[in-house]
Structure 1
Amino acid sequence: MAGGWSLVSAAALVRRKSWDFAAISFGPTALLSRRIERTPRRLPVCRWKTNLSFLSRPDLPNLAYKKLKGKTPGVIFIPGYLSNMNGTKAMAIEEFCKSLGHAYIRFDYSGCGSSEGKFEDCTVGKWRKDVLSIIDDIAEGPQILVGSSMGAWLMLHAAIARPQKVAALVGIATAADSMVTQFNQLSVEAKKDIEVKGTWKVPTKYSDDGFYIFQYSFIKEASFHCLLHGPIPVTCPVRLLHGMKDEFIPWQTSMQIADHIISSDIDVILRKNGDHRMKEKEDIKLLVYTIDDLIDKLTTSN
């Protein structure tokens, strides 16, 4: 197993005058527990508005983003597949960062939301470039990257490419390699049929049509960005949150990712009743508590 990591149950997360991540054993051995001995910051109740801006890039689509100026480390939210910067998690993190006075950026991939470009022309590699553009051209100072699903896959790539700017990672239902892995698990006949048709329909309750449609070319290109074939050279603190009722990305995927990351500071945090999107009230609490803990860790260590 690469590095050291602890399996923590969010079901045992207790809010008192100081709050805990208390351990719970899912097997015969009790796991590590640790206490954060401080008062939790209060969750904000109002929404703060930020202006929509665009990052101009030569020969690449302009990216829409919203930025809060503030202290470092800053936080960047990286959305999931077919998602955008206005989702529940993205907005909740913005409110939380505003309450702390920390910088925050949320953005839309090219071909998505308010950004320029055509969705059908997009690939994992192009969206990887989008994330790096935001880090290189918009973000200032060290950053905590928060990635949701496919966004967490891109988050890992960004941490590998920009280790000097990425201070910590928070993955939510991290979907590293997932679509490629699922495609490779299909029968030879099914894969051949998808290649001939040029599209792959994947059932999901998160689409009005009841399925996602992936271009065969999209899957083939995504295979060049897989990470789970060897050690993942990420050395910063990593927190992987996952719902155990995620029917799209199995929670065991986060365990596998933790096993491949070389950092010695990794927690896998499971919510027994959490689903793929992890956007219920208690899910959001856990998310902002996790970010808060990392900000405190990074601030006190400098």
Structure 2
Amino acid sequence: MGQTDFLTTQQGRKLAYHQTAGKAPGVVFLGGFKSDMEGTKAVHLEDWARRTGRAFLRFDYSGHGQSSGAFVDGCIGDWAGDAMTVIRDLTDGPQVLVGSSMGGWISLLCAREMPDKVAGLVTIAAAPDFTEDSMWAGFNGAQRAELQDRGQVALPSDYGEPYIITRRLIEDGRNHLVLRDPLPLPFPVRFLQGTADEDVEMSVALRLLEHAQGPDMRLTLVDGADHRFSDPDCLALIEEAVGQVLARSGGRG
């Protein structure tokens, strides 16, 4: 799938990325928690970008995929910083951000912190504030005590090895919440959500739509779609949503 390049951040993190040249505005894919840029959605969108001549960028956060660092050492602030560095250093002009799961939260942080670099937004099963509203809120007393005493707790995962959740991840997440304060999104936005998602409840998508403020926001619910949102119909819907945002942001053609 092309050559893997690397960008070193000011913090010394070495971030792996694949970039496709093309017309502006470009599209940037932001992956999920413990995911990487080789996932189905990221690679599919890269193929779409090549077919349509659109600039495209996918990358791995630190501690993910081919990038440097250990996953357990990272936190939302680190990964959001990685995303902002990649967008700022590797792209020209405003971009359409496509954020999947945790990447949806990070794309919202990018929109809040660097609005001049965002032409539009597509989220897929976005998980804003999940460290607080899903993880911490879902911990029982023993898990909270273990997190405080040992600095980490293991959670079972449907995607392989257990997730090691650190106290730093939870505490740092509280510094990056987006559903507690005003969240202006002054550009075209498409939220996509499956009704059979067992990782991010449909109520999260509805809360995000109600909380955010913008002139052109739409939520599409797909009956029966799960968190992966990667079957052919879902992938086609992602393409369609990106196309709508590009057209409405002035990036048609």
Q: TM-score range by the shorter chain?
A: over 0.9
Instruction: Note the C-alpha offset of 1:89.
Output: 0.1
Q: CA deviation at 1:199?
A: 2.0
Larger radius of gyration: 1
Structural RMSD (CA)? 1.7
Q: Which of 92, 116, 121 is equivalent to 2:44?
A: 92
Query: Can you give the 5+ residue segments of structure 2 that lack an aligned partner in the other structure?
Result: none
Structure 1: segments with no counterpart, 5+ residues: 1-48
Deviations 1:215-265 (A, max 9, x none): 122111111111111221222111111111111110110110111111121
Deviation at 1:190, TM superposition (A): 4.1
Look up the match of 2:151. Answer: 198
Structure-to-structure mapping, 1:1-302, within 5 angstroms: 49-182=1-134, 183-188=136-141, 190-206=143-159, 208-209=160-161, 211-299=162-250
Distance in 1, Cα, partners of 2:155 & 2:71: 17
CA distance in 2, matches of 1:217, 1:137: 27
- Preserved CA contact (<8 Å) 1:79 1:147: yes
Q: Deviations over 1:264-296 (max 9, x none)?
A: 211111111111110111110111111112222
Measure the CA separation in 1 of the matches of 2:30 and 2:252.
25
Q: Which amino acid aligns with 1:197?
A: R
Name the count of aligned residue pairs: 252
Q: Distance in 1 between matches of 2:38 and 2:182?
A: 34
Which is richer in helix?
2
Deviation of the 1:63 alpha carbon: 1.0
Report the AA paired with residue 225 of structure 1. Answer: H
Preserved CA contact (<8 Å) 2:34 2:71 = no
Deviations 1:24-68 (A, max 9, x none): xxxxxxxxxxxxxxxxxxxxxxxxx33211112233212111101
Superposed CA offset, 1:97-118 (max 9, x none): 1111010000000121111222
State the identity as a percent: 33
**Contact map agreement 2:9 2:82 (CA 8 A) in 1:** no
CA distance 1:300–1:136, change in 2 (3 Å): closer
How far apart in 2 are the matches of 1:246 and 1:301? 32
The 3-state SS of whatever aligns with 2:238 is: helix
Moved segments of 4+, more than 6 Å: none
Which residue number corresponds to residue 24 of structure 1?
none
Q: Take 1:267 and 1:123, find their aligned partners in 2: how far apart are those partners?
A: 29
8 Å contact from structure 1 (residues 204, 248) kept in 2: no
Distance in 2, Cα, partners of 1:185 & 1:64: 33
Please give the per-residue CA displacement for 1:147-203, whole angstroms capped at 9, x wherever unaligned. 110011000000111111101111111000012112134445542233223223333
Structure 2 CA distance for aligned equivalents of residues 254 and 231 of structure 1: 16
CA change 1:193–1:94 in 2 (3 A) is same
Describe the SS at the equivalent of 1:164.
helix
What's the TM-score, normalizing by structure 1? Answer: 0.79
